[in-house]
Structures are given as C-alpha cells and as structure tokens.
Amino acid sequence: MRPLALYWSLMLWVMPPLAAVEPVILNVQAEQIPGTRWFDISYEIRDPDSAVVSVSLKISAIEGWEFLGWSGDYVSNDPKLSWEVKAPTHLVATFGTTVNTVATGGGKIALEPAMKVYPYGSKVRVIAVPDLGYGLSLWGGAGVDQTQSEWTLTVTNATPKISALFGPVLKPCP
C-alpha cells in the first residue's frame, strides 16, 4: 500500500512597523520525507516603510536524498534562493534518490524510465530480463514481496536496492 504523501506549508507574515500595508506572505510547500532538514530561513526588512522583504532560503536533505530543484514562482536547481518578496510567493521543493539494482546469475534488471535520480513519489517500472536459457527465480531487497517478472516501484525510501536472482531454466525429462 502506498503511503499518503504529506505536505506542509510555511507561511511568513511580515508587517513593517507603523506601516499601513498588507503583510508579505511566503508560502513554501514540499513533500515530507521523514528525517529531512527542510529549510534554514532568514529574512530582513530593508525599508521599514515598505512591504518589500528580502528572503533567503537554503534547503538540505539527509543522506540518501538530494535536492532536485525549486518550482512554482521561482525555478532553480540551486538549494540557496534569495529574492525580494513583493507579493505572495509559492515554492515547491523537489527531492530525489537513486535506485540501485543487483542481478545475480544469468540476467539483468531494467528500470523504466532509466534515470540517474528518481524524484520522490515517482513510479518506476522494474523488469527482469533473463539471459537465454535463464529465468527469474526471485526478487530481493525492495522487491522481496514481488512475484511477477515486471512490477512498479513507488519511490518513497532513500536509495532503494532491488536484487534479482536468475537461474537456469530446466527442461523437462522426456
């Protein structure tokens, strides 16, 4: 069963002192990966009579995950992001991880799509590709409960490892 993806938002209201202006709102959304350090946030008001706020964000992930980029109102692959917020801002942080495969015996494991890093929540088709005269004996690692030669992995854990054991196909005796 696929776990429910949790989302959180951080909203920052900054009201310059003694100014009759609307507060500045910063809204950040990211899928929650347990143990991830999300944001170091700092902000300052450059002009106390203005609603313009300088915001700096820095994001870092725990071992096994990597930051892939920001999307929303600002698009960047840099984990550090600084800008002057003049209106409500929406940001989405995307994280990803590698999927490792180990095939033993006569065959290999194919992943579709073939990617270096898979974003959190992405679906990966896992396919056993036996050599001529071999067949899939069993899956291991992240595929331990799988019984078919093709199945789908939903990426929700850091660096999942998929293993497959291939054995010779025995021909029946005449």
Segment 14-30, tens digit of pLDDT: 444 434 444 444 555 55
Mean pLDDT for the chain? Answer: 76
Peptide bond into 113 cis (omega under 30): yes
What is the domain range of residue 55?
Answer: 7-97
Q: Model pTM greater than 0.75? A: no
One-letter amino acid identity for 141?
G
My answer on whether 86 and 144 are in the same domain is: no
My answer on whether 21 and 62 are in the same domain is: yes
Number of domains in the chain: 2
Q: For residues 122 and 86, what is the distance between their CA atoms, to the nearest angstrom? A: 34
In a domain? residue 51: yes
Other CB atoms closer than 10 Å to residue 79's CB: what's the count?
17
- For residues 105 and 137, the answer to whether their CB atoms sit within 8 Å is yes
CA dihedral angle for residue 125, residue 131, residue 134, residue 137, rounded to 10 degrees:
-30
My answer on whether 158 and 79 are in the same domain is: no
Q: Which two tokens stand for residue 29?
A: 């959304």
CA 54 centroid distance within chain: 28
Q: What is the DSSP string of 46-100?
A: S-TTS--EEEEEEE---TT-EEEEEEESS-BS-SEEEEEE-S-EEEEEEEEE--E
Taking only the tens place, the pLDDT of each residue in 100-140 is 999 999 999 999 999 999 998 899 999 999 999 999 999 99
Question: Residue 33: CA atoms inside 13 Å, Cβ hemisphere, count?
Answer: 27
Of 97, 129, 155, the position where a domain reaches its end is 97
My answer on whether 157 and 114 are in the same domain is: yes
Q: For residues 146 and 148, what is the distance between their CA atoms, to the nearest angstrom? A: 6
- For residues 37 and 57, the answer to whether their CB atoms sit within 8 Å is no
Residues in the chain: 174
Q: Is the pLDDT of residue 35 over 50?
A: no
- In angstroms, the Cα distances linking 7 to 25, 64, 172 are 18, 20, 55
Of 48, 74, 97, the position where a domain reaches its end is 97
Residue 61 has a pLDDT of 78
Kindly indicate the confidence band of residue 50, based on its pLDDT and cuts at 50, 70 and 90. Answer: low
In a domain? residue 173: no
Residue 106 has a pLDDT of 95
Q: For residues 75 and 124, what is the distance between their CA atoms, to the nearest angstrom? A: 25
My answer on whether 75 and 139 are in the same domain is: no
Q: Is the pLDDT of residue 41 over 90?
A: no
In a domain? residue 2: no
Kindly indicate the confidence band of residue 174, based on its pLDDT and cuts at 50, 70 and 90. Answer: confident
My answer on whether 114 and 147 are in the same domain is: yes
- For residues 88 and 9, the answer to whether their CB atoms sit within 8 Å is no
Residue that has been written with the tokens 């071992």 in this structure:
63
In a domain? residue 153: yes
My answer on whether 136 and 87 are in the same domain is: no
Share of the chain above pLDDT 90, in %: 40
